[in-house]
């Protein structure tokens, strides 16, 4: 099975699973498949770990982010994350952000890869790294699921061609164990436009966790100040 066929098959399976999944309405993100919160994060107590392994069902993992109603491709201009590989490397179209989009008639995913263009490989790092903004006008993304879409299209032209499409969901996905063996990655401080997803809560402040916030929203003076910050909804 070639790369494109295999990837399309994996994407189709993922979409089918995602469509029947139940997510917690109160959170601004949810984990699916082989994904969990772990300690520590990047200058904070918590990160999200996503994994794809042939030995561990369901062989994929990811994070589903809530997005504002009415968000369009024309509105979406920033997408980045801190990441750290524990096993494997970028390969086979994974990890990637999936932008679920529709114009009411046509629906599909726009793929935004963390790897280097071409085969989108070689982004693995055992140290925390930031992707930088993946939605600069010159950045290449994949639109082949949409009418007239291609394997590599500049995001500037994507905004021109599909600007009115609504973004109904965004996921960070790991699912290419078949290409490179086990892939395990930590993600933290995911930024979608002006919103940052840190995977923290009041529980992150306990057991000395408040002391590990060396960057915003910390540092905190004590555990109580940290708990209060999250109890007030991150203020």
| pLDDT tens for the 235 residues of the chain, in order | 444 444 544 444 444 444 333 322 336 999 999 999 999 999 888 999 999 999 999 999 999 999 999 999 999 999 999 999 999 989 889 999 999 999 999 999 999 999 776 667 778 778 999 999 999 999 999 999 999 999 999 999 999 999 999 999 999 999 999 987 899 999 999 999 999 898 988 888 888 888 888 777 888 999 999 888 888 766 4
DSSP class of 231: H
Q: 169: burial class by Cβ within 10 Å (0-12, 13-18, 19+)?
A: middle
With b meaning 16 or more CB within 10 Å and e meaning fewer, what string describes 54-64? eeeeebbbbbb
Domain boundaries, the chain: 3-199, 200-235
CATH topology of domain 3-199: Jelly Rolls (2.60.120)
Tell me the Ramachandran region of residue 181: left when phi exceeds 0, alpha when psi lies from -120 to 50, beta otherwise. left
Q: Give, for 209, the enclosing helix (H) or strand (E).
A: none
Q: Which residues contact 127 (CB under 8 A, 6 or more apart)?
A: 84
Q: 180: burial class by Cβ within 10 Å (0-12, 13-18, 19+)?
A: middle
pTM for the full model?
0.82
Distance CA 85, CA 186 (A): 6
Distance CA 135, CA 167 (A): 14
């Amino acid at each position: 099975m070639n790369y494109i066929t295999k990837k399309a098959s994996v994407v189709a399976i993922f979409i089918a699973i995602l469509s029947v999944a139940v997510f917690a309405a109160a959170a601004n993100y949810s984990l699916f498949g082989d994904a969990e919160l772990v300690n520590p994060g990047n200058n904070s107590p918590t990160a999200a770990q996503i994994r794809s392994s042939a030995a561990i069902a369901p062989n994929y993992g990811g994070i589903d982010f809530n997005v504002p109603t009415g968000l369009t491709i024309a509105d979406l201009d920033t997408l980045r994350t801190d990441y750290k590989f524990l096993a494997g490397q970028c390969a086979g179209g994974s990890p990637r952000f999936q932008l679920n989009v529709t114009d009411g008639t046509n629906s599909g995913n726009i793929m935004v890869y963390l790897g280097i263009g071409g085969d989108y490989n070689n982004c693995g790092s055992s140290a925390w790294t930031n992707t930088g903004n993946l939605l600069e006008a010159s950045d290449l993304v994949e639109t082949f699921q949409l009418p007239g879409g291609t394997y590599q299209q500049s995001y500037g032209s994507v905004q021109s061609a599909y600007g009115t499409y609504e973004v109904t969901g965004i996921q960070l996905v790991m699912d290419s164990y078949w290409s490179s063996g086990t892939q395990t990655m930590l993600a933290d401080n995911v930024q979608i436009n002006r919103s940052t997803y840190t995977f923290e809560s009041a529980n992150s402040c306990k057991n000395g966790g408040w002391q590990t916030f060396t960057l915003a929203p910390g540092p905190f003076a004590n555990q109580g100040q940290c708990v209060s910050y999250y109890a007030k909804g991150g203020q």
